[in-house]
Amino acid sequence: MSSVYSGDPIPSETSTPSREGEVDRAVWYKDAVIYQLHIKAFFDSNADGVGDFRGLTSKLDYIQDLGVNAVWLLPFYPSPLKDDGYDVSDYRNVHPQYGTRGDVRLFVREAHRRGLRVITELVVNHTSDQHPWFQAARRAPPGSPKRDYYVWSDSDQKYKGTRIIFTDTETSNWAWDPMAKQYYWHRFFTHQPDLNFDNPKVLRAVLRVMEFWAEMGVDGFRLDAIPYLVEREGTSNENLPETHAVLKQIRARIDARYANRLLLAEANQWPEDVRPYFGDGDECHMAFHFPLMPRMYMAIAQEDRHPLVEIMQQTPEIPDICQWAIFLRNHDELTLEMVTSKERDYMYRQYAADMQARINLGIRRRLAPLMENDPERIKLMNSLLLSMPGSPILYYGDEIGMGDNIYLGDRNGVRTPMQWSPDRNAGFSRADPQRLYLPPIMDAVYGYEALNVEAQARDPASLLNWTKRMLAVRKGSHAFGRGRLAFLHPGNRKVLAYLREYGEDAILCVANLSRSAQPLELDLKRFKGRVPVELLGRTAFPPIGDLPYLLTLPAYAFYWFRLATDAAPPEWHKQMIVPEEAPVLVLFDGWLSFFRDRVVPWRKGMAEKLRAQLENEVLPRFIEAQRWYAQKGEPVASAALADHAVWDVGGISWLLTFLQVKETTYFLPLALGWEEDEEHVRSLSAATVARVRQQANVGVLADAMADEAFCRHVVKAIGGSLALPMDKGTLRFTPTSAFAELAGDEVATLTPGTLNTQSTNTSVPLGDRLFLKCYRRLRPGINPELEMGRFLTETARFPNCVPLAGSIEYAAGSGEPATVGLLQAYVPNQGDAWSYTAAYLERFLEAPLKDEEHGAYLTLMQTLATRTAELHRALATPAGDPAFEPEPLTGQDVAQWKASVREEAAETFALIEKSPHEHAKPLLAQRERVAAMIDACAAPAKPALKTRHHGDYHLGQVLLVSNDFFIIDFEGEPSRPLAEARRKHSPLRDVAGMLRSFSYARGAALLRAESKDGSLDAWEAAARSAFLKAYFDAAAGSGLADSAADAQGLLRLFEIEKALYELRYELNNRPAWLHIPAQGLAALAESVKGD
Amino acid sequence: MDRIEVMLEPVRVFMRQLGDILPRLALAVLVIIIGWIFARMVRYAIAKGLRAANFNVVTERAGIDGFLRDGGVNADATDILAALFYWLVILASLVIGFNLLGLTYITDLLGRVVLFVPRLMVAMLILAFGAYFARFVANALTAYCRNVQIQDADLLGRLAQYALVTFVVLIALDQVGIGGDIVRQSFLIVLAGLVFALALAFGLGGKDWAADLLERWWPKKKP
């Protein structure tokens, strides 16, 4: 996790300073997530009952692991601690309870080492009455510079228009000092006299304090109570221009002397009053957004987005380099100063029915108790916080859902010790419980025995681990910290939906504020064509189209979507609507309209035009968009009808066409669906070729594979051994001996399932019995899948392949027949082993603790290996068929194979040399090594066999069926000619293919998780050895290969061959995946060395 | 000597006549052979031309080809039309040939046959396009009736088609000149019968309705 981000925040000596990096570093606070904590409450290292710097330093790993990148420390200066340290009595020292200045220095260094910034408090509005400055001032004569450090008056009637902040304890902003015989000014407690910033000496002293800590390495200062610095008669004494003048001087000083430091203004004001604290980018870098916080609570209480939308709309624009600081809870009460009195009443009733929970103008509770410990609501609130504009601040303990103690007086209820473990004092301190500065929470729900870091760290579903995941996701996009905010306005008011946009990046956040499930429709036309990818699970949702985007949310749920331009839509997604822009073909005589010699004389011209439109416009556009079009990316100029037949079965007819696209012939059956039969048109619309009109009838022309009746009639035709004459050739439907058993007697009622167009073939399941597969590209010659299927079904009776029920072949002239379609038995399955493995590895990467040994997975792989060996044994059965008869493997064979792999290596390296991908070039250095490796592959010493084999064996070619495997797709590698797939070879080629597939599964899982986790190396090694062992065990005695040791050389040769093939494939298609075969080659080289 | 003369005279005359007729005969045979070759060429060209012009599609759609097939004829209408041209040329060459030989009676006879062939061709064309038109009208009518949801749309279409085909057949027959009056009269009888049948059907079926109508227009005087 840490490696993802560790390079960023702190300038280290080793990093090369780039222009962009410098800018990023200077505005680090824009992408920051800040963790706010009390020294005294975090960890006690010396068993005195109070947390300290050494304790905090020892827990820095925890903070770093959480995923935050800044720590905000509450005041740790010497103080009488009457206001939680905000009454400072010495600005330049550390309270002895917390440690020494040396401890602080160590802490700052350690934090920086972990990429964490440090923010401290600069409490300059007031000091403690114990501060030497005040002691000197009260003794100095009136008017002297020393007395002028503070604000004095002879009467308590000055500045009458000023409000009192702590209404519960204070009655006036003036207090009488008997020694000075004058009143002194204090905006907060009586013991906190306000400094007099009209006195230039005060400002100078304050600046020196700031420099002192900046020298120590502190990265940012929170300016406490900043609106109250200066006083003027006749004003409210808040936000005065003179105060801003002081701030500008502070900023100018820090900018002049230090780089990348932060000023964070605490101004509990309305947004328009806070705006001046940013100046023109020349006052504070950040300021708290106080009014947003209560409105998040209000929105969720009222189950209405209005409060949030309203306050964000009232929020003014701030300069580019500035940022809001946002929070849910902090060390003070949940302040309700920034809400109307009506809203305040509402909030009190909702969140603080117990009077004890109220203090001043707010509520002294933590997040979890406010949310009644409902994990969904806590998560929802956090998701809002992390996705609203601004840098979020997390209050310590809220990441584990800590509770509070409202009976502790003042705001101490939310300042109790951090709950580390169920041990004594919550693992916070080894001191006697009585000695603690505050007792830890001990109730049944929030008590430290039930709720602590240790327990949550081990629970993958805990709030702590959830928070870590959320923070990791948030780091994935700058849009969260820097993006623009735009609210969407779905009709359902209980749902809050907004966009965060930064450059091309767009994040869509949707949150259900209500306690019941909610639907919503979003107008996302602007992003038409983009694919929403849910960020937590990285799940692709159907792409955005013209219609309102429909989502449903469970109670208190939220989604974050990246509106991706580069992600693929989910595999099962189908464009269900007839594309508006599909061209219209005007028919006048059904299918015959396309054939000039089949229409009445006066319509020949029309027929010619229509045919040209079909061949030069309609079909080319359709074919380009199909997965089965082999020359992807290359536009189709024309698709000429090389052969055709109108297949009429009484009432319905289809046009079966063979289309010539350059050198290649494709098979495309076409169906017409007319508007009156809506159901029919809808089922065809997924495969629409064009819209059609014949007189007043409107309809679609579509791929007939999507037509229910067509599929059914194909099955019938196979059952009836139909030979359909075409214009030039013949289409032959042939059943196998297994047809009757597989098809049963309900062919007429079989309902086709959804069409699968995601591969080079198109396939459709028929009921739960049959599976019709249509090859699009015509490859003359005996189709190995048909041949192997026949052999395995009828001769060898191998139970773990899909039985063949029939075939469709096309023969034209004297040439070899080409296979157009296969009818197989449908095997209900749980998907292929590739998707199963991908999902398994994804789960494993997310929660690697559970099954370190991969026991269950390896058992499955052993089964797979056994089935593979059984397949090879079946293929080696002598049955008198020369195409399948096993032959002994000779040394000559091996020499020949080696020569061809050598050739492939040369070809591959030549391709790399020519390729524009620079990151592929280092592979060239491997040339010698690969050649040596090929030479080193030894032929087996004991007798072995050459047989037919699968040819393109990998995890995607086996179906998982209730913990067993079915082997499918005997076509061989699609890019090699059919004859090559039919030659006899060592079956170990299949084994090597599977081993390479494990390596691919590992690489793909790491790519997907964007991680470099080494734990998958162990998985790959375990899967390899389990597979090999089980394979050779099951193959023993068959004569295929003598033993694993004897076959090792051959196996390695085939692995090299496969890796070279993969290298070529990735170079041409997916350069980003190149490293997977490259690593495979490297690993092979390692294993050679190991021998 | 004279006797030999006398005996040789008829031979001489015969030879002379033979000498007269032989070149003409040879010429006639030549004309007929050329005519036969030309006829084959014409048949081929006409068949090709008609097919290129999709005439076969018209006759097929008109149902004529199907009709012929059902009747055991191996050729379609195009072939028949081409054959007619073939015979036209053959007959024309025969006429020329016989004319050369001076066989005027046969020439006359053949001439009448030759004149009949074009009428046969025109009749065929009328039949082909007429039947196609009948089928087209039938389809259009059926489609329209279906759209306005009239029951028996198919039946109405069929009726229209058969009526049109009947007319077309009559016109074709008229063109060929077969039947003449008989056809015309039987057509009139059929038409009159049809009208009478309709009148009867409406009269009987609409008796009450007509009575009601009459009652409303001229109410009976109340007794």
pLDDT one-digit tens code per residue, A734-743: 998 888 888 8
Q: Do B57 and A604 touch (CB under 8 A)?
A: no
Q: Which of A510, A511, A507, A508 is nearest to A477 (CA)?
A: A507
Q: Rounded to whole angstroms, how far apart are CA atoms A953 and A1000?
A: 13
Rounded mean pLDDT, B157-161: 87
Query: Is the Cβ–Cβ distance between A804 and A823 less than 8 Å?
Result: yes
Transcribe A995-1042 into DSSP letters. Answer: HHHHHHHHHHHHHHHT---THHHHHHHHHHHHHHHHHHHHHTTSSS-S
Confidence of residue B139 (pLDDT cuts 50, 70, 90): confident
What's the mean per-residue pLDDT of chain A? 88
* Smallest Cα distance from B84 to chain A, Å: 21
Cβ within 8 Å, pair B61-A604: no
Collapsing DSSP to helix, strand or coil, A659 comes out as strand
Q: How far apart are CA A268 and CA A634, in angstroms?
A: 62
Nearest CA to A186 among A151, A158, A236, A225? Answer: A151
For A881-884, the CB contacts below 8 A with 24+ separation are A881/A791, A881/A795, A883/A787, A883/A791, A883/A948, A883/A982, A884/A791, A884/A795, A884/A947, A884/A948
- Here the tokens at position B89 are 């040329």
- Distance between CA atoms of residues A759 and A626, nearest Å: 9
pLDDT at A5 (0 to 100): 35
Does the pLDDT at position B200 exceed 50?
yes
B51, B54, B143: residue with CB nearest A599: B54
Q: Which residues of A touch B (CB under 8 A)?
A: 596-601, 604, 695-696
Task: At A633, list the tokens.
Answer: 């990316």
Beta bridge partners of A363: A334, A358
pLDDT, position A8: 39
Residue in B55, B143, B147 closest to A601 by CB: B55
Size of interface A-B (CB pairs under 8 A): 21
Closest to A1041 measured CA to CA, from A951, A942, A957, A928: A942
The predicted structure's pLDDT at residue A579:
57
Residues in a beta bridge with A499: A486, A508
In the prediction, which pLDDT does A447 show? 93
According to DSSP, the β-strands at A262-265 and A286-288 are parallel
Residue with tokens 């040879």: B26
Spatial distance between the Cα atoms of A323 and A391, rounded to a whole number of angstroms: 7
pLDDT at A769: 84
d(CA A359, CA A427): 30
Determine which one of A52, A87, A103, A224 is catalytic. Answer: A224
pTM of the model: 0.63
Query: What pairing do the DSSP bridges indicate for beta strands A323-327 and A391-395?
Result: parallel
Q: For residue A180, what is the DSSP state?
A: T
Interchain pair B54, A600: CB under 8 A: yes
**b (16+ CB within 10 A) / e for A1044-1065:** bebbbbbbbbbbbbbbbbbbbe
**Among the partner residues A597, A695, A696, nearest to B54 by beta-carbon distance:** A597
3-state secondary structure of A742: helix
Q: How far A597 CA lies from chain B's nearest CA (Å)?
A: 6
Q: Which residues contact A570 (CB under 8 A, 6 or more apart)?
A: A539, A540, A541, A542
Q: What is the DSSP letter of A434?
A: G
Show Cβ contacts of residue B183 under 8 Å, excluding neighbours closer than 6 positions: B170, B173, B174
* Contacts for A1069 with CB less than 8 Å, ≥ 6 apart: none
Report chain A residues whose CB lies below 8 A from the CB of B61. Answer: 600
Q: What is the DSSP string of A829-886?
A: -S-BHHHHHHHHHHHHHH-TTTTTT-HHHHHHHHHHHHHHHHHHHHHT---S-TTT--
What is the C-alpha to C-alpha distance for residues A223 and A75, in angstroms, rounded to an integer?
A: 11
Let me know: does A791 contact A682? Beta carbons within 8 Å: no
Cα distances (Å, whole numbers) of residue A108 to A253, A583, A1004, B209: 22, 68, 40, 112
pLDDT at residue A268, as a whole number: 84
One-letter-per-residue 3-state SS of chain B: CHHHHHHHHHHHHHHHHHHHHHHHHHHHHHHHHHHHHHHHHHHHHHHHHHHHCCHHHHHHHHCHHHHHHHCCCCCCHHHHHHHHHHHHHHHHHHHHHHHHHCCHHHHHHHHHHHHHHHHHHHHHHHHHHHHHHHHHHHHHHHHHHHHCCCCCHHHHHHHHHHHHHHHHHHHHHHHHCCCCHHHHHHHHHHHHHHHHHHHHHHHHHCHHHHHHHHHHHCCCCCC
User: What is the DSSP secondary-structure string of A945-967?
Assistant: EEB---SS-SGGGEEEETTEEEE
The label of the residue with tokens 């808040």 reads A238
Q: Tell me the torsion sign for CA atoms A809, A811, A814, A816.
A: negative
Q: Which residue of A lies nearest to B62 if distances are taken between CA atoms?
A: A600
The token pair that represents B211 in the structure block: 């009575």
Would the CB atoms of B57 and A696 count as touching at under 8 Å? no
Q: What percent of chain B has pLDDT over 70?
A: 97
Residue A424 tokens read as 């004594």
Q: Is A893 a catalytic residue?
A: no
**Residue A991 host element (H or E):** helix A988-1009
A537's CB contacts (< 8 A; 6+ apart) are: none
8 A C-beta contact, residue A396 and residue A36: yes
B58 CA to chain A: closest CA distance, Å?
6
What residues pair up with A810 in beta bridges, in sequence order?
A731, A818
A584: three-class secondary structure by DSSP: strand
| Contact assignment for B57 to A598 by CB distance below 8 Å | yes
Any residues with CB less than 8 A from the CB of A90 and at least 6 apart, and which?
Answer: A77, A78, A131, A132
Which chain A residues touch B50 with a CB distance below 8 Å?
Answer: none
Residue A760 token pair: 């080079």
Nearest CA in chain B to A589: B61
How many helical (H) and strand (E) elements, i.e. helices and strands, does chain A have? 33, 38
Which amino acid appears at position A258 of this protein? Answer: Y
Residues A773 and A789: their CA atoms lie apart, in Å, by: 13
Active-site residue A881, yes or no?
Answer: no
User: With contact defined as beta carbons under 8 Å apart, do A119 and A266 qualify?
Assistant: no
Alpha-carbon gap: A696 to the closest alpha carbon of chain B (Å): 10
- What are the tokens at A314? 């009232």
C-alpha torsion sign, points A592, A594, A596, A599: positive
- For residue A695, list chain B residues with Cβ-Cβ distance below 8 A: 143
Inter-chain CB proximity B58 and A597 less than 8 Å: no
**Which residue out of B48, B50, B54 would a mutagenesis test of the A interface target, given it has the greatest number of A Cβ atoms within 10 Å?**
B54
- Show Cβ contacts of residue A671 under 8 Å, excluding neighbours closer than 6 positions: A654, A684, A701, A702, A703, A704, A706, A707, A710
Q: Which of A224, A309, A233 is nearest to A264 (CA)?
A: A224
Consecutive 10-residue averages of pLDDT for chain A (1091 residues): 37 45 81 94 93 94 94 94 90 94 95 94 92 93 90 90 84 91 92 93 93 94 92 89 93 92 90 90 92 92 92 91 93 86 87 84 91 94 95 95 89 92 93 93 93 93 94 92 92 94 92 94 90 91 88 94 88 63 84 87 89 90 82 82 89 90 90 86 83 86 89 90 90 89 77 73 85 86 85 87 90 82 87 89 74 80 92 86 86 89 90 82 84 86 87 90 88 75 87 93 85 81 92 86 84 91 86 87 80 60
Model ipTM value: 0.71
A604 contacts on B by Cβ (under 8 Å):
54
Alpha-carbon gap, residue A1080 to A1064, rounded angstroms: 14
